[in-house]
Amino acid sequence: MDKLFSPITVGPFVLSHRVVLAPMTRLRTIQPCDIPSPMMAEFYGQRASNGGLVLIEGTSISLTARSYLGAASFFHDGQTDGWKAVADAVHAKGGRVFMQLIHGGRQSHVEMTGGEDPVAPSVVPFDGVALTKDGFVPASPHRALELAEIPGIIEDFRIAAQRAMDAGFDGVELHGANGYLVDQFIQDGTNKRDDAYGGPVEARVRFLREAVEALISVWGANRVGVRISPSGEWGGISDSDPEATFSHVAKVLHGYGIAYLHVIEPRVKGDDTLHDGHPPVASSYLRPHFSGPIIAAGGFDGESAHAIVNSGNADLVAFGRHFTSNPDLPYRIQNRLPLAPYVRAGFWGGDEKLYTDFPTYDGKHGR
C-alpha cells in the first residue's frame, strides 16, 4: 500500500492523499494595501487537488505585523474579495485550504509597520532584514512589548481568524516558526523577559497558548494547525535546549486537540541537502508528545516523503519549492514522473512569469 497516497483525517476533513502545499511567501499582492491578486487565486487553484490540503502563505494579521512589501495580509475589508477568490479556486478543485497567520515581530521595518518600531519579546541584537520599496534593507531597531500591549496582538490574531472564516477558508494555521513573533517568544535566545511571558519554558509558551486559544475561539480546535521550526536558524533564532523546549510545545498543543502540528525539519545549509546529510530529526522526538497528524516540511522529494510517512514520524509532507514548478506535484509523485526544476528567480515577487506559467505533466494548466 502506498501510504503517502492513502486517505487521512485532518480535523473534520478526510484527505485523499498526504502531499500538502506548503505556505510560501511569494510577494505577489497588489500594492498598496496588500490586495490578493487574481494571479494568486490562479496559482493556488492550479496546485489544488481533489482531497488535498493547501496552506496559504504567511498572512500578516495587522499593519504593524508586516515584514515584506508584497507579502500577504488580511486586516481590512478591501482584501476580502481577493481572499474569497483564493478559497474558491481551491474548493473548485475539491481541495481544502487553511490560511497561515503571522506576526513578523522584530523582522520588519518602519516602512512596513506604518512608522511603528518593530516589536519583540525582548531587545536582543539582530541583523536581519525586511523588504521595502528599496529592496531588502536592515530591519529597523525593535523594542520590547509592554505587558499591556500583548492582549491587543492576541486580539489581532482572533480578528484575522474570523476574517479567514468569513472569506470561506477551511481553517487557519498559526505561524510559530522561522523566527517570527510567536517563535521569538518560545525560544530563550530571543525571549529574555522576566514577567509571565518569559523565563521557564512554561512561561515562554504563554504567548503561543493565547494565540492558539484565540484561533480556537473562532474555529474550534479541529480547524487550527500550528507550524514550528525546532531546528530553525532563520531570523537569528536560537534556544539553549530546543529538544526540551519543542517537546514541551508539542505536549501543550496535543492538549488542545488541534488539527495538526506542522514541523519544519532541518534542511538547507547553503544548498539543497539535509544538514550534514542526515535525515529529518525533529518529528521523531516530537511524535511521542503529539498524537495528532504531523506534517513534515523541509527539502523533501518523493522518495524521502514516502520514507518519513512510512516511518510513522510524520503523517503528511508539505512541499514548497517543488510545488512552485510542478502544479500537479501529487500526480507526478504518485506516478513517479520527472519533476520540472524550480526556478529561484521567480520565488519572490514579479508577475505571472515563473509563477502561474508552469504546465502540468501533460502540458496543460490546472489538471
Helix (H, G, I), strand (E, B) or coil at 129: strand
Whole-model pTM over 0.85: yes
pLDDT of residue 40: 98
Active-site residues, by number, are: 180
Residue 172, CA distances (Å) to 98, 181, 295, 312 in order: 5, 17, 14, 25
For the chain (367 residues), the mean pLDDT of every run of 10, in chain order, is 94 98 98 98 98 98 98 98 98 98 98 98 95 95 98 98 98 98 98 98 98 98 98 92 97 98 74 46 91 95 94 96 98 96 96 97 69
Q: Where are the beta strands (DSSP E) in the chain?
A: 8-10, 13-15, 19-21, 53-60, 72-73, 96-102, 119-120, 129-132, 135-138, 143-144, 171-176, 224-228, 260-264, 294-297, 316-319
pLDDT of residue 340: 97
Residue 64, CA distances (Å) to 142, 208, 229, 298, 358 in order: 12, 18, 23, 28, 34
What does the angle CA 4 – CA 40 – CA 86 come to, to the nearest 5 degrees? 75
DSSP string, 264-298: EPP--SSSSSPGGGPPP-HHHHHGGG--S-EEEES
